[in-house]
Amino acid sequence: MSDPVSITLRESEARPYGLVGTARQHAVTADEPGAVGGADSGPNPWEHVAVGLAACTAITIRMVANRKGWPLDDIEVTATQEFAVGPDGRKQAQFTRTLTFHGALDAAQRAFLLQMAEKCPVSLALKAGAPIITTLTDH
């Protein structure tokens, strides 16, 4: 099992929904856009999930290309989240990834790297419906 990832957020001055915190030594903000009553002081929660998916995808593909010594000069990943109607007729989150590879990759290398996008840990967790355990602590 890997080391746990822990991020703590607290309400910020950007009320009513603004949050600030840290992920290791990195500052993190979150909020809702003004259209839904937020102060738009940071990405909304769905945007953070899309960032995680895009970053994990790009990093996974980069690791594979480097390990194989393939000429991948640059990669761009656009992750889009929207709500769609599922097979059961209920609204569900849906993510779309668009990958752009720059470099002298042949068709087989491009196809293999595209398959590797499906293997990134965030993609696997989202598809599997990772369990969420919620606890309450006293202040």
Domain residue ranges in the chain? 1-42, 44-129
pLDDT at 34: 95
What one-character DSSP code corresponds to residue 43?
Answer: -
pTM reported for the whole predicted model: 0.91
CATH of 44-129 among 3.40.225.10, 3.40.50.300, 3.30.300.20, 1.10.10.10: 3.30.300.20
The torsion angles phi and psi of 13, rounded to 5 degrees, stand at: -70, -15
- Residue 116 carries which side chain, given as an amino acid letter? M
What one-character DSSP code corresponds to residue 104?
Answer: S
Each residue's pLDDT tens digit in the chain (139 positions)?
678 889 999 999 999 999 999 999 999 999 999 999 999 999 999 999 999 999 999 999 999 999 999 999 999 999 999 999 988 999 999 999 999 999 999 999 999 999 999 999 999 999 999 999 999 999 7
pLDDT at 1: 64
Q: Cβ atoms within 10 A of the Cβ of 50, count?
A: 21
pLDDT at 102: 98
pLDDT at 3: 84
Which of 1, 2, 31, 34 lies closest to 14 in space, CA to CA?
A: 31
